[in-house]
């Protein structure tokens, strides 16, 4: 497929690149070492229009398409994947869930705050004992007049502590029933809603990951997105598009690692010549460049389908699976090209290597993507 990107698309990519260089690059390793979540940077991203990328202007968003979305996430992730992850999760999960499945009143109430970056969003599906098996969740929402009482916890939640608002999936029916779960919007400060343990992670350390805890948390029925029993089905549809986010994140990591390795291979001299002149290194670079091209085509094909309103379940899973696995391979080879220096935090490939692994796990593991693809091609 041939994607003819407009001048506007290129300007948007440039603005995301400039934003990352100015507000993120100077602090990368400080944030990483301290596992500090720079909430103020996301507020700044909101001022730039990066926190409501595909949200229509009537709700305070930028009204852009998915090709632009991919460009923004990719350019930020080339500098720091942690911030790319936070921007992606805010856009595609919390904000996206309200946009795609909320009623008009709910959209007008919450989207302007989210799209402007004034509020940071979280999204809760995963639990301690239910990762890929989300249908077996234990968090419940029990009807009590005009309210639902939430009890349980969610883990591995991006912005679990700093988020001002969360979309939470809770069980309103029988365990394992795909129509037995519902989605609720819960604002920070709601009695019974608190945060738990912050995870100490291998990579993506500047993107906050923590527990959400619900203890007799009363949520009004007007905070339910859609109808009772639709939460899990909504989540699956949302994750179809969300996988484009991980594809974009993977692309950013892959390009960042590749460009660092390419530059180093031209500068590093061994046996009297740059190591890029040796076939063992040049072939690695050839493979890396090819995998980036393949990933880019798959991700933008999924983005094109999403823009047209077409079903992206299979293509999104393919894009996510291939690009995430490719970015791990590319980051690994980038470290190898750097040799001993690739193992040192002074060089950027060490962090790309650590950050890359999450892409094969978040928003559905590689194995889940293969399951999704297999089910669809075997229908």
Helix, coil or strand: residue 116: coil
Q: At what angle do helices 231-267 and 349-356 cross, to 10 degrees?
A: 160
Q: Which of 127, 230, 291, 363 is catalytic?
A: 363
Residue 234 neighbours by CB under 8 Å, 6+ apart: 97, 100, 101, 183, 225, 226
Backbone angles phi, psi at 117, to 5 degrees: 80, 5
End-to-end CA distance of the chain: 25
Which residue is listed with tokens 């679990």?
Answer: 160
The closest of 354, 346, 315, 98 to 226, measured between CA atoms, is 98
> 214 CB contacts (<8 Å, ≥6 apart)?
139, 150, 151, 152, 153, 168, 170, 186, 192, 193
Active site residue 296: no
Q: What gap in Å lies between CA 290 and CA 57, rounded to an integer?
A: 37
- Please check whether residue 125 is in contact with residue 70, taking contact to mean a CB–CB distance below 8 angstroms: no
The SS3 call for residue 285 is helix
Catalytic residues, which ones?
363
């Amino acid at each position: 497929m041939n994607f003819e990107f407009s001048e506007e698309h290129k300007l948007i990519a440039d603005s995301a690149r400039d934003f990352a260089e100015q507000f993120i690059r100077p602090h990368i390793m400080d944030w990483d070492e301290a596992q500090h979540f720079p909430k103020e940077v996301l507020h700044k991203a909101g001022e730039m229009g990066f926190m409501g990328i595909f949200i229509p202007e009537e709700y305070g968003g930028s009204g852009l398409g998915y090709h632009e979305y991919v460009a923004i996430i990719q350019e930020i992730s080339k500098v720091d994947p942690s911030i790319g992850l936070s921007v992606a999760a805010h856009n595609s999960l919390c904000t996206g869930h309200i946009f795609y499945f909320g009623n008009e009143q709910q959209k007008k109430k919450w989207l302007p705050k989210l799209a402007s970056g004034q509020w940071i969003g979280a999204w809760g599906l995963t639990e301690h004992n239910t990762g890929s098996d989300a249908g077996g969740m234990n968090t419940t929402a029990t009807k009590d007049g005009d309210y639902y009482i939430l009890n349980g916890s969610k883990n591995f939640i991006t912005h679990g502590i700093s988020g001002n608002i969360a979309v939470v999936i809770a069980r309103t029916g029988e365990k394992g029933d795909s129509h037995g779960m519902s989605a609720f919007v819960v604002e920070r400060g709601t009695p019974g809603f608190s945060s738990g343990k912050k995870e100490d992670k291998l990579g993506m350390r500047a993107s906050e990951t923590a527990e959400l805890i619900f203890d007799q948390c009363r949520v009004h029925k007007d905070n339910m997105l859609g109808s009772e029993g639709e939460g899990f089905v909504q989540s699956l549809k949302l994750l179809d598009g969300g996988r484009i986010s991980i594809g974009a994140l993977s692309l950013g990591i892959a390009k960042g690692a590749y460009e660092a390795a390419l530059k180093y291979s031209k500068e590093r001299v061994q046996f009297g010549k740059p190591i890029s002149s040796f076939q063992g290194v040049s072939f690695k670079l050839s493979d890396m460049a090819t995998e980036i091209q393949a990933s880019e085509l798959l991700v933008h094909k999924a983005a094109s389908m999403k823009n047209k309103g077409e079903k992206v379940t299979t293509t999104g899973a393919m894009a996510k699976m291939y690009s995430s696995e490719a970015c791990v391979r590319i980051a690994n080879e980038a470290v190898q090209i750097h040799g001993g220096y690739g193992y040192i935090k002074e060089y950027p490939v060490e962090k790309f290597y650590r950050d890359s692994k999450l892409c094969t796990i978040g928003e559905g593991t590689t194995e889940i993507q293969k399951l999704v693809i297999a089910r669809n091609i075997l229908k």
